[in-house]
Chain A
Amino acid sequence: MTARIIRVLIAKAGLDGHDRGAKVVARALRDAGMEVIYTGLHQTPEQVVAAATQEDADAIGLSVLSGAHRYLFSRIRELLKARGMDDVLLFGGGIIPREDVSFLQEIGVRGIFTPGATTGEIVDFVRREVGTRRRESP
């Protein structure tokens, strides 16, 4: 009962109803022994951050296929910062053009997984990043 289980929030934000990818990732993380809070479709950035707060999520994974990734990630990052939640790992995936990847990295999205990424990569990434964060601020 003393092991800290990793809690990940998987969210779909904005006008984007395609959640197949989000569900696949949610299942892979579950199968890796994590607790995945799945919030469903059409979330606003405010809802995503409120949920991450109440659920004490270690990480937020955002799936965006609508093209609104620049706005959605920026806004979520901003809200996290305002609440003093910079330590929450933000990662995402979806249809994200290569030229936007560096923009997202600059604003603090730590991992971006586009089509072709394996679930194994995502699981390893979350484990590694959350592990580092916990060692830094237990």
Chain B
Amino acid sequence: MSLAQRVLKGDARAAARLISMAEDGDPAARSEMESLYPHTGRSYIVGVTGPPGSGKSTLVDRLTERLRLERKKVGIIAVDPSSPFTGGAILADRIRMQRHGTDEGVFIRSMASRGQLGGLSYGTYDAVQVLDAFGCEIILLETVGVGQDEVDIVRTADSVLVLAVPGLGDSVQVLKAGILEIADILVVGKADLEGADQVERDLRGLQEIKGGEPQEWLLPVLKVEGLSGVGVAELLRAIEEHKEYMSRSREGEARKRQRLEAHLERLLAETLMGQALEILRRSGKWDDAVARLGRRECAPHKLVEELAGHVLSSPSSR
């Protein structure tokens, strides 16, 4: 039986193996992923993002606890950073979720970012597909701890939760572009700590600022205490409401399309780039261009025009 078939039958080991193969860029993963594709698109994907130490893993653990009461099969993908120097990583998000470790209805996978800077890794998309085909009704996707600009999650998740916690700066931080703009639901984590009310007020201010036209989806701001679980039920309800909104609104439609386009665009760019470099290297044009650039004979933009022209007129690119 192929790995893909075993994944469809609910074999956890096969799912785990296929995720590794896809993330390692193993060529054998490709045909397996292709045969899984028709069986995907059923999971609802919830992204969880926020600064390091803001309680993302704990929140994922709490959400899982609730979802399991409803007997939903849950997939968790948790991304932690790879070392930029050695490529190694310590993946420790499981620590907060271990009580679900032996629950057959929960599949937890830790992934390293492997040089990607957007908060996810190259393999994340494939891992989502595998868990989708594996039968997870909901997939919780936790990013690396992010700062202000790591917004890849919005291109993968159906609903994005952004966690904010007290003590990380004043209300001007809230005005900045980036991470807060991608939120579908804003969560004030560690709401038992001093300063949580202020964070909540600052974030509520965002609701009024956001967009010129009246918004159909009023960005909810919810307080959650990860340690005790207070507020988690309300958060889950907000996710349900957002899911419902996405399924009937034009925004939901548009987001779906944008996501498909972004994914296709990325793959196309990778493929074209690989082919272009191969053509240029094989013909010697590449080394030649680098040398000319070094001698200041030709400006980079001009040179790239030439190189692109060469690639497009090359017989092997047709």
Contacts and interface: CB of A to CB of B under 8 A. Distances in A.
Contacts of A55: 16, 91, 94, 109-110
B13 A85 contact: yes
Interface string A1-44: 11111010000000000000000001101111111111110011
Contact of B90 (A1, A26, A84): A26
Given A30-B83, A83-B13, A36 B89 contact: yes
B125 interface: no
A31 B108 contact: no
B88 A37 contact: no
Contacts of A40: 92, 94-95, 98
A48 to B, nearest CB: 9
* Interface size class of chain A, counting residues whose CB lies under 8 Å from the partner chain: 20 to 34
Contacts of A29: 88
A51 interface: yes
B219 to A, nearest CB: 34
Contacts of B98: 39-40, 43, 47, 51
B102 interface: yes
B25 interface: yes
A50 B90 CA distance: 18
Interface centre among B94, B108, B109, B114 (most CB of A within 10 A): B94
* Interface size class of chain B, counting residues whose CB lies under 8 Å from the partner chain: 20 to 34
A46 interface: yes
A33 B85 CA distance: 9
Nearest to A37: B91
A109 B114 CA distance: 31
A30 B101 contact: no
Nearest to A49: B102
B94 to A, nearest CB: 5
A56 B20 contact: yes
B222 interface: no
Contacts of B86: 30-33
Contacts of A132: none
Interface string B70-107: 00000000000011001111111011001001100001
A53 interface: yes
A4 B90 contact: no
A54 B20 CA distance: 10
A3 B94 contact: no
A32 B91 CA distance: 15
Interface in A35-75: 35-40, 43-44, 46-47, 50-51, 53-56
Contacts of B82: 35
A53 B101 CA distance: 10
B122 interface: yes
Contacts of B91: 35-38, 55
A30 B92 CA distance: 12
Contacts of A5: 24, 87, 112, 114
Contacts of B87: 5, 33
Contacts of B102: 44, 46-47, 50
Nearest to A42: B98
B303 interface: no
Contacts of A54: 12, 16, 101, 107-109
B17 A56 contact: yes
A38 B95 contact: yes
Contact of B88 (A31, A43, A46, A47): A31
Interface centre among B87, B88, B91 (most CB of A within 10 A): B88
A51 B24 contact: no
B26 interface: yes
CB-CB nearest 4 A-B residue pairs: A40-B95, A1-B25, A30-B88, A56-B16
10 contacts: A5-B112, A35-B82, A39-B98, A39-B101, A40-B92, A40-B94, A53-B12, A55-B16, A56-B16, A84-B13
